A and B are shown apart, each in its own frame.
Chain A
Amino acid sequence: MESQGIATVSISLLKDISQAVGTLRALCVPYRHGFPLGEENNPVLQEKIIKQMLQILSNGDEPSPNFVDFYE
């Protein structure tokens, strides 16, 4: 997708593996597998996570790879 002009940003649940597979941008969240957006039926938290994913993309000049920790 990146090579075709689509900017991507991922959730990372295991930072070591995300880095090993070459993820370019990721929001590192403190949640276990099965719960990438934190908690079921918690729209406030889920929306906050998505907004921080989008924020990574709008930060302009960035390191590569760009891994950012989620802040609650």
Chain B
Amino acid sequence: MGEFSEFDFKTRMFLKAYRFRTAKQVTPTPLKKKISECRVGLVTTAGLVPENDNDFEDILGGDPSFRLIDSNVDVRTLKEVHRSQSFDHSGVEADRNLAFPLDRLRKLQKDKVIKDMSAQHISFMGSITTPSRLIKTYAPEAANSFVKQGVDIALLIPI
């Protein structure tokens, strides 16, 4: 498990004082199909960006936008532009699958553990300290993208 002690003093104090917003409580959606019949989509907060797309911005309160990543992308071409210096980036720099396991999903599809993947996946950059626009605009847009693609399961991978 990650530990608060892995962060520097400034980050620990911030996390201690920050008033986290609680997601609106909903009844969990039960899975109505077998996993092998499901379409799976990935959501990461690792700040990964397709090579021809605009980087996330380093703005006050954090950039709440997201990027769509095609399922057929070579993950090695994704840019890693997360602005936070509070975690070690070396792992994701060496292997994007560490926070965006697209190659792993490809194998699960090939092995028929899952039916298939969404045509596009979702990448946010975390470190959003003022989440209003995320909650009101960008998260619903991201969710709608998955609804339109017929996604059954979303795997949420924080960084």
Contacts and interface: CB of A to CB of B under 8 A. Distances in A.
Contacts of B28: 2, 7, 24-25, 62, 64, 66
Given A32-B87, A54-B153, A1 B146 contact: yes
B34 interface: yes
Interface in B12-38: 15, 20-31, 34-35
B55 interface: no
B101 interface: yes
Contacts, number: 159
Interface string A61-72: 010101000000
From DSSP, what is the main secondary structure of chain B's interface residues? Answer: loop
Given A13-B1, A34-B89, A5 B157 contact: no
Interface residues of B, number: 55
Contacts of B104: 37, 43, 46-47, 50
A22 to B, nearest CB: 4
A21 B86 CA distance: 20
Given A4-B147, A7-B31, A28 B158 contact: no
Interface of A: 1-15, 17, 20-25, 28-41, 43, 46-47, 50-51, 53-54, 57-58, 60, 62, 64, 66
Interface of B: 1-4, 6-7, 15, 20-31, 34-35, 41, 86-92, 94-95, 97-99, 101, 103-105, 107-108, 113-114, 143-144, 146-147, 151-159
Given A6-B154, A17-B20, A54-B113, 4 more contacts: A14-B2, A32-B88, A33-B159, A47-B104
